[in-house]
A and B are shown apart, each in its own frame.
Chain A
Amino acid sequence: MIEFEDVTKQYPDGTVAVDQLSLRIPSNEITVFVGPSGCGKTTSLRMINRTIERSSGRISIDGEDINDKDPVVLRRGIGYVIQHAGLFPHKTVVDNVATVPKLLGWDKKKSRSVAMELLERVGLDLKLAERYPAQLSGGQQQRVGVARALAADPLVMLMDEPFSAVDPIVRHQLQEELLRLQRDIGKTIVFVTHDIDEAIKLGDNVAVLRVGGKLAQFAPPKELLADPADDFVESFIGQDRGYRKLTFLKADHLPLGPVPADLSLGDNGEPLGWQSNGEVLPIGAAFRTGDSLRAAMDAVLTSPVGQGICVDESGKAVGVIDYTTLTGALRP
């Protein structure tokens, strides 16, 4: 657990970046700091590895005050990922990843084999291991950045807007992979972003900070959407929080209707298209039983005939739902 107790960061010119922040970051979960620029989210993050020193208060990791440790030693035990990855341009990919093990004095062979293992784990083609960062795409560089942060198997990983400089498709991929990776490694991750959607998608807990470095709300995403603490949080979450809340509700209890005759099916029962006056219309986005209500809503909204198709794990159509039935089911 990382604990902030009344932590304040004030610069010599009087600017208060973080104002009496108190917060418990649970172990083995992803905690997201989110807020507009100037809210002190990056400052708060960087106070954890002491690349910014707090002015007052106390920050501890598993009960131990971080100021009791030499900062250089402290940092070697904390993974760190930044925007644009910040890879060392003069080192090959594998040497970048092996950096911290080498700083810790592991022998060269072991450092390299750990690095190769991690590159594989973050989904990088191992053919790229001997290349230099400039030869990689932004998304690939960021994977290497994550591998570098994990190389010495730290308990804590800090991520400062790691995915904000890559295009939306790659960002989506990297987010999914971070969640997949986290299921395996269970690190204590502190993640900074200005993107509330990213915060809600990734965070087990989300700390919303307001300008001036004050904590506005600290809660799991579901609670944040259902019950924003004040007007600031509500407006920051955005207009469509009702719709976004659907992300956290399962579509497994919907009253589905039978598969209608005008939906043509393939050999394995998979939906192919809607028959309509001799034409075949596309089916739109089908949803699975395990998906969220947001996916079900999307299926209904994208269907040309107003019927969202539900499929099972094998892709076989198991039922349909129309708009009226769906909205009826949404009513609390």
Chain B
Amino acid sequence: MSWIGDNTGLIWTQLGQHIYLSLIPMVLGLLISVPLGYVATRFSWLANPLVALGGVLYSLPSIALFIVLPAIIGTKVLSQANIIIALTIYAVSLLIRNVIDGLRSVPEDVLQAAVSVGYGTLRRVVTIDLPIAVPVIFTGLRVVTVANISMVSVGAIIGVGGLGQLFTLGFQQDFLTPIVVGVVLSLALALIADILLVGLQRLLTPWARAVAPVKEVLR
């Protein structure tokens, strides 16, 4: 226990880095996959190849990606950019399917109505299509976030891994406490992130819970 007291600074730093390393790819992934997904619904022949490519990219082992990336894009081996780029690739490859499915979940008559009352394309996508796609997109976003939080630790192999650093520390010193702290904090982080996302989704989609005609108003 005294190890925790002596190392609060280290623990906080790694936790902060862990949050940063998992959150940034999630945001970047969303920013990339939304326009990409829209293009794929516009040109529907693109949808299947993109989803398939996503599947292939997601199946790449993360350790391999962390190590190979510097060679491909010329980043420094110990750079945080490697982790961020790799996790962004995973995020996009998962999210692209949900974005496409989400945009496709917008009913045809709703699209037709939107165009017919005079929405321009950009305005329609932002204020009609995307809000209606939120529940499906968030399903993917939750998976991505939890997956990212667990994969950041793997980055410890190349020296940038947030709470994963505590694992390496524990293994090197043959000492259990840092490993337990790392595991507990990772789990807690994943749980809290998921709860926050569910809350955010509920906030964004009050309409999704408003189903089933209310009896007393039916006449």
Contact = CB atoms under 8 A, between A and B. Distances in A.
A72 B131 contact: no
Given A90-B131, A125-B217, A125-B219, A134 B211 contact: yes
A43 to B, nearest CB: 13
Contacts of B115: 51, 75
Interface residues of B, number: 27
B212 A72 contact: no
B131 A80 contact: no
B112 A76 contact: no
B159 to A, nearest CB: 45
Given A89-B132, A136-B213, A100 B109 contact: no
Given A51-B116, A72-B119, A135-B213, A86 B207 contact: no
Contacts of A148: 117
Contact of B109 (A84, A99, A132): A84
Interface string A49-63: 101000000000000
Interface string A127-139: 1100110111100
- Chain A interface extent, by class: 35 or more
Interface in A36-72: 46, 49, 51, 72
A148 B114 CA distance: 11
B130 to A, nearest CB: 10
Interface in B120-135: 120, 128, 131-132
Contact of B110 (A74, A83, A86, A137): A86
A245 B104 CA distance: 47
Given A90-B131, A125-B217, A135 B116 contact: no
Nearest to A99: B117
A1 interface: no
Given A76-B117, A103-B118, A90 B207 contact: yes
Interface of A: 46, 49, 51, 72-76, 80, 82-92, 99-100, 103, 125, 127-128, 131-132, 134-137, 148-149, 158
